């Protein structure tokens, strides 16, 4: 992988991340259907993730890790509260009252929400008077719009596999919510998306001062476990709820912990450190496309015109954002270089590091 350019590694990592998220919706819903507690499941999930992340963080960042202070511990506590306790809590309640398909579709709002938060807090520059700035905004809109079209519009059938598998029966096996509070589920899933966006932006802020991504993920996971375990111990008094009743429950926890929380969290925070908060979130709509393709290939679901249009919009949106970020980076270096020579290397304008994309602050 060292022979692969860093930019290419970033694209590959973010694409793989969406495969992890695509499977997560199904795995978690199956776990809930098997009777795992919505309070206990995330405790086991994050304990599993911490077992993976802690040794990696300790040995790989042992020499470069900044010293821990009370300020950083408070930051990690807040990351755990927003990014694990509230985010996962809202997700589990929302998923239990809706469906995996709808939960996946709702997450397509994360790139737009992240872009707005990052722009307001000046972690992402927005120059609508320049072509690169307009391309970024248009790319975000195109990606979210494409994912929405895949979800909401079918159109005529483009591809009909020969499989005779009844797709409706497959969905019923996954347990789409029936007779539950759909409005509550929608509200909770939107809260989940808000927390996810805030978590991404908060990670970008913390990484500017504490440049050890794996350690940040491990500490976030640690505090999330403490918070969730406290809540679960208070509300879940039946000790039998803490027991596993089948190997399927164990596999669900292992997937959610190792893949969804461990590997995915490490990839996300690394991508934020290298490409900025908006770049890390813009790949999320690709998840909806992957779910549609997997459903067609594995479940025998028909592929409709809406899927083709949505896929083209998502790919176009990703290209526009990537191109805009690339052009913005070139522009930033052209602006900063004369300032460095003019000031002879001293006191390089601190405001530039705030206004420019995070990728510049990591590379300079």
Residue 6 lies in a domain: no
Give the max Cα distance, the chain.
Answer: 72
pTM: 0.71
Q: Report pLDDT for 4.
A: 65
Residue 271 lies in a domain: yes
Euclidean distance between CA atoms 256 and 27, whole angstroms: 8
Q: Report pLDDT for 300.
A: 58
Which structural domain, as residue segments, surrounds residue 55?
A: 13-363
Residue 144 lies in a domain: yes
Residue 8 lies in a domain: no
Q: Report pLDDT for 54.
A: 94
Q: Report pLDDT for 353.
A: 34
Residue 5 lies in a domain: no
Tokens 């896929």 correspond to 311
Euclidean distance between CA atoms 42 and 46, whole angstroms: 6
Q: Report pLDDT for 165.
A: 43
Q: Report pLDDT for 69.
A: 92
Residue 236 lies in a domain: yes
Residue 330 lies in a domain: yes
Residue 35 lies in a domain: yes
CB 14 within 8 A of CB 322: no
Q: Report pLDDT for 295.
A: 59
Bridge partners (DSSP) of residue 159 are 303
Mean pLDDT for each 10-residue chunk of the chain (364 residues)?
72 86 76 80 91 92 89 96 93 80 74 81 78 84 77 71 47 48 82 91 90 92 95 84 83 88 86 80 76 62 70 77 75 52 45 34 35
The total number of structural domains in the chain stands at 1
Write the secondary structure of the chain as one string of H (helix), E (strand) and C (coil): CCCCCHHHHHHHHHHHHHHHHHHHHHHHHHHHHCCCCCCHHHHHHHHHHHHHHHHHHHHHCCCCCCCCCHHHHHHHHHHHHHHHHHHHHHHHHHHHHCCHHHHHHHHHHHHHHHHHHHHHCCCCCCCCCCHHHHHHHHHHHHHHHHHHHHHHCCCCEEECCCCCCCHHHHHHHHCCCCCCCHHHHHHHHHHHHHHHHHHHHHHHHHHCCCCCHHHHHHHHHHHHHHHHHHHHHHHCCCHHHHCCCCHHHHHHHHHHHHHHHHHHHHHHHHHHHHHCHHHHHCCCHHHHHHHHHHHHHHCCCCEEHHHHHHHHHHHHHHHHHHHHHHHHHHHHHHHHHHHHHHCCCCCCCHHHHHHCCHHHHHHC
């Amino acid at each position: 992988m060292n022979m692969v350019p860093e930019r290419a590694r970033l694209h590959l990592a973010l694409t793989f991340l969406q495969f992890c998220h695509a499977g997560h919706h199904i795995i978690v819903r199956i776990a809930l259907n098997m009777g795992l507690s919505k309070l206990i499941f995330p405790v086991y999930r994050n304990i599993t993730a911490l077992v993976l992340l802690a040794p990696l963080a300790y040995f790989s960042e042992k020499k470069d890790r900044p010293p821990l202070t009370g300020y950083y511990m408070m930051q990690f506590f807040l990351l755990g509260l927003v990014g694990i306790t509230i985010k996962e809590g809202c997700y589990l309640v929302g998923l239990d009252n809706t469906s995996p398909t709808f939960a996946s579709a709702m997450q397509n709002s994360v790139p737009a929400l992240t872009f707005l938060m990052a722009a307001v807090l000046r972690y992402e520059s927005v120059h609508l008077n320049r072509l690169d700035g307009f391309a970024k905004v248009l790319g975000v809109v195109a990606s979210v719009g494409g994912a929405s079209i895949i979800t909401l519009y079918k159109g005529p059938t483009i591809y009909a596999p020969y499989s005779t598998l009844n797709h409706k029966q497959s969905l019923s096996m996954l347990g789409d919510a029936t007779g539950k509070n759909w409005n509550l589920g929608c509200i909770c899933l939107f809260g989940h998306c808000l927390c996810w966006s805030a978590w991404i932006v908060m990670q970008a802020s913390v990484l500017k001062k504490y440049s050890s991504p794996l350690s940040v993920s491990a500490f976030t996971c640690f505090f999330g476990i403490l918070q969730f375990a406290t809540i679960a111990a208070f509300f879940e008094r039946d000790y039998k709820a803490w027991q596993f009743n089948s190997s399927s429950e164990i596999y669900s926890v292992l997937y959610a912990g190792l893949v969804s929380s461990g590997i995915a969290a490490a990839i996300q925070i690394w991508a934020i450190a290298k490409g900025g908060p908006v770049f890390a979130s813009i790949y999320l709509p690709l998840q909806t496309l992957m779910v549609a393709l997997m459903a067609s290939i594995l479940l025998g679901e028909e592929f409709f015109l809406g899927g083709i249009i949505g896929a083209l919009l998502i790919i176009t949106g990703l290209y526009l954002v990537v191109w805009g970020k690339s052009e913005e980076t070139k522009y930033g270096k052209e602006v900063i270089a004369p300032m460095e020579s003019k000031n002879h290397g001293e006191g390089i304008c601190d405001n530039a590091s705030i206004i420019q994309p995070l990728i510049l602050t990591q590379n300079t």
